[in-house]
Amino acid sequence: MMEFLTGAALHKAVATIAKSKRLRCAVAFWGAGAEKLVGEFKHRDIKIICNLNHLGTNPRVVAAFPRACVKRHDDLHAKVYIGSKYTIVTSANASADGLGFEGVEADGWIEAGIRFRTSQEIVAWFNRLWTISERITDADIDTAIRAWLARPKIPRRPLEIVSSQVNGRKWTRQACFQHFDALCRNPRWSWSARSADGKTVVMTMWEDEIVWKGRTATYQSLSRNVTRKRKRPGETERLENLKWARDHCGGLVRVVMMTATNKDPYSRKIATCYPADHLIMRIGQLDEGNGTFRAESVTS
């Protein structure tokens, strides 16, 4: 029998499962106080899989867990709490109250979940995931803490910041790049830039091509040179900077948002642009042949 849970009932159910003598958690994101949610590890059989490579996880929480009991999987987005008797599959991340998401002002989010009897099927699924997940090293924790401390403060509703970023100032692409201490080759044709120390890469993205799903933004660039045999200088520079971000910056890029004067995706002119201070994207896929790429926000 399955039960649909929300609010306080979900909170209580997650907290109960988290105290199980035999606990398995495939939960992507762990926020402040999650170590209290799980409690003592001594004399308990506990295994936890998290997404340490995502800024939704506070690495200090993960560092508090016995290293033998926790692994990382960088593609994990599920939130599955498996207890001795019951399992909960939910939207709720792990935190002090079992419902929160530290770092993105998640107060007020409506969470829901399904509770059902723990089955061999769900345990087998977790065991397979545990097998392919990676052990967490001290270096992993140190890297994650540095990224966590440098994370931007993401508003709960990103679209609320758009007008305040544009109104009151006329931005140029060059000014946007300089806002992130990045330099472009040519203010007329550059679509990307890089800081002098190589630690920051900035990409321009069309605002209407960014898709928001909950708290996650995705961007898929289009190949706009389909009729040309040679890349334009700005496209060549962008590909170089994309590869630099992938190889030297963990795939992370800052974003200059652009709005277009027209809706034709293959023939666009800039209406406005502004630095998206609250958004960091990670390059996930890059086609070095045509320069197209896919990116996803590092918070969700």
CA distances from 6 to 28, 56, 112, 114, 124 (A): 19, 22, 5, 9, 27
Q: Are residues 131 and 188 in the same domain?
A: no
Per-residue pLDDT at 14: 92
Q: Are residues 27 and 97 in the same domain?
A: yes
| pLDDT (average), residues 291-297 | 90
Q: Are residues 226 and 277 in the same domain?
A: yes
Count of domains for the chain: 2
Q: Are residues 139 and 221 in the same domain?
A: no
Q: Are residues 176 and 234 in the same domain?
A: yes
Residue ending a domain, among 123, 149, 175, is: 149
Residue 285, φ and ψ in degrees, nearest 5? -135, 140
Contact 257, 271 (CB under 8 A): no
Taking 90 as the threshold, does the pLDDT of residue 229 lie above it?
no
Domain carrying residue 133: 3-149
- Tell me what percent of the residues of the chain surpass a pLDDT of 70: 85
Contacts of 216 (CB under 8 A, 6+ apart): 296, 297, 299, 300
Q: Are residues 41 and 88 in the same domain?
A: yes
Q: Are residues 15 and 143 in the same domain?
A: yes
Query: Which tokens go with 78?
Result: 């599920």
Q: Which long-range contacts (CB under 8 A, 24 or more apart) does 259-265 make?
A: 259/206, 259/207, 259/208, 260/206, 260/208, 263/208, 265/209, 265/222, 265/224
- Measured CA to CA, the distance from residue 37 to residue 55 in angstroms comes to 20
Q: Are residues 136 and 175 in the same domain?
A: no
Which of 25-34, 110-119, 230-239 is predicted most confidently? 110-119
What is the CATH number for 90? 3.30.870.10
Taking 70 as the threshold, does the pLDDT of residue 289 lie above it?
yes
Q: Which of 142, 136, 156, 146 is nearest to 51 (CA)?
A: 136
Q: Are residues 107 and 215 in the same domain?
A: no
Q: Are residues 49 and 122 in the same domain?
A: yes
**Residue 28 — very low, low, confident or very high, per pLDDT cuts 50/70/90?**
very high
Per-residue pLDDT at 78: 94
Residue ending a domain, among 149, 182, 209, is: 149
Q: Are residues 130 and 210 in the same domain?
A: no
Q: Are residues 144 and 164 in the same domain?
A: no
pLDDT in tens, 191-204: 999 999 999 999 99
Q: Which of 9, 21, 81 is nearest to 46 (CA)?
A: 21
pLDDT in tens, 91-127: 888 875 444 444 333 445 688 999 999 999 999 999 9
- Measured CA to CA, the distance from residue 176 to residue 203 in angstroms comes to 10
Helix ranges (DSSP H) in 95-219: 120-132, 138-149, 162-166, 173-179
Query: Which tokens go with 96?
Result: 């002090």
Residue ending a domain, among 128, 149, 170, is: 149
Per the confidence metrics, is the pTM higher than 0.85?
no
- Tell me what percent of the residues of the chain surpass a pLDDT of 90: 51
- Give the β-pairing of 201-206 and 252-260: parallel
